[in-house]
Amino acid sequence: MMLPIVKKNLGQGLLELIIALGIAAFIIVALVQTMVTGAKNTRFAKNQTLATRFAQEGVEKIRNLRDTLGWALFFNTYNGITTCVGEGTPDTWTVILPCPANIDNFFTRKVVFNDSGDPGNTVAVNVTVTWIDNDGTHKSEQNTELTRW
């Protein structure tokens, strides 16, 4: 009678299972990390786009204010000041610094007016929109020079 041959690889299946589970866990972690990073980048891109739009809107509001008030009143009222510009009309602009979040309670739009180049005839306008998220403070800036026309 022949005795059956016993193979010496009884634990090999368990070892292969542990290695396969380790590889699967590594792949799942990598996929989840990729998805989280993608969502974070999408949120940042959305906020950057909105901040740029709000900064451009601020420049247009100021340009419209200059056209509405006339150069002399605009220059004498706003030259050399820093103000917060929310979503309202110039009547609701505040001079509170540091600026509170004044757009959607998330973005802050600050405007700095400075006499530039040709005193009395030009005003440099810097509009900065900032927001804070888990990665820190971010900003979008728009600069323009308004002149006596």
Question: What contacts 43, CB < 8 A, 6 or more positions away?
Answer: 133
Q: Among 9-23, 36-50, 94-108, which is the least confidently predicted range? A: 94-108
**Among residues 72, 71, 143, 148, which one has the least CA distance to residue 113?**
143
Taking residues 90-94, report their average pLDDT: 57
pLDDT of 117 > 80? The answer is: no
According to the model, what pLDDT value does residue 33 have? 96
- For 37-82, the pLDDT digits (tens) are 999 999 999 999 999 999 999 899 888 888 888 998 888 888 888 8
* CA-based max dimension of the chain: 117
Mean pLDDT of 127-146: 93
